Amino acid sequence: MHERQKINIIDCDAFLNINESFLAYDEEVGECLYWLALKRRALFSDDFVKSIINYALRSNRNSTLSHEDYVPLAQLINLFPEVKGDEETVLIINAIKIYWEANIEDYILNSQRIQDIYDDRNNASNIAYEVLKDMISEYDLPFMEDDLDNIFENIRMDNLCPEYDDYLADRSGRISDYAKNISRDSASDIDDLFTR
């Protein structure tokens, strides 16, 4: 058993000594690490998970991680629930919040559920919030309702569903006024013709 613990330390050290200039964290690295931990959980410790989180955040200071990059980190945290109360989990949650605050509107605009509702503005807001909740639930991390509300505030609802009805009503109103003027002018021209 003592030898196995020694191997465990060596294996973890090998992963923790990743040269970050050659291998920056991304989705593929995260998925590999999660897969290894899932297959041989006993070989990994809470400290290993914390180190991977720090590696992921540290190796991408110049570029932002995406949703797909955060998912394997969240899966690792969920595989080691003892880590959920630690500082590293708070760092990941904060990084995810910052990511979504900056990117939520683009994601929602490209969401099939939003594109399928056309011009129903009342429904757009509810669906957008549900899409956000679905995305955040993929992490299975302790987000607060306020966190979702703060992210949701970054969506400009007029971008989600422009008010086509008002535009069309305004446009058709102008056309009908124009048509009325033409018909009035035509009628007066005809009356002038008969009076001559």
Got the DSSP string for 87-153?
Answer: HHHHHHHHHHHHHHHHHHHHHHHT-HHHHTTTT-HHHHHHHHHHHHHHHHHTT-----HHHHHHHHT
Global pTM value:
0.70
Please give the pLDDT value at position 151. Answer: 92
Q: DSSP H helical segments within 22-66, as ranges? A: 27-39, 46-58
Task: Please check whether residues 30 and 79 belong to one and the same domain.
Answer: yes
Task: Please check whether residues 77 and 3 belong to one and the same domain.
Answer: yes
Kindly list the averaged pLDDT for each block of 10 residues, start to end, along the chain of length 196. Answer: 44 59 84 91 86 84 82 93 88 91 87 73 81 91 90 80 46 42 50 55
Q: Which two tokens stand for residue 73?
A: 């980190």
Residues 6+ apart with CB under 8 A from 75: 34
Task: Please check whether residues 65 and 144 belong to one and the same domain.
Answer: no
Task: Please check whether residues 127 and 195 belong to one and the same domain.
Answer: no
Task: Please check whether residues 103 and 121 belong to one and the same domain.
Answer: yes
Task: Please check whether residues 95 and 77 belong to one and the same domain.
Answer: no
Task: Please check whether residues 180 and 106 belong to one and the same domain.
Answer: no
Structural domain tally of the chain?
A: 3
Task: Please check whether residues 146 and 174 belong to one and the same domain.
Answer: no
CA distance 79 to 42: 11
Per the structure, the complete domain to which residue 14 belongs is given by 1-84
Task: Please check whether residues 186 and 121 belong to one and the same domain.
Answer: no
Rounded to 5°, the CA angle 183-186-190 comes to 140
Please give the pLDDT value at position 69. Answer: 93
Last residue of a domain, one of 58, 84, 110: 84
- Of 97, 9, 16, 101, whose CA–CA distance to 54 is shortest? 16
Task: Please check whether residues 92 and 65 belong to one and the same domain.
Answer: no
Task: Please check whether residues 66 and 77 belong to one and the same domain.
Answer: yes
Please give the pLDDT value at position 183. Answer: 46
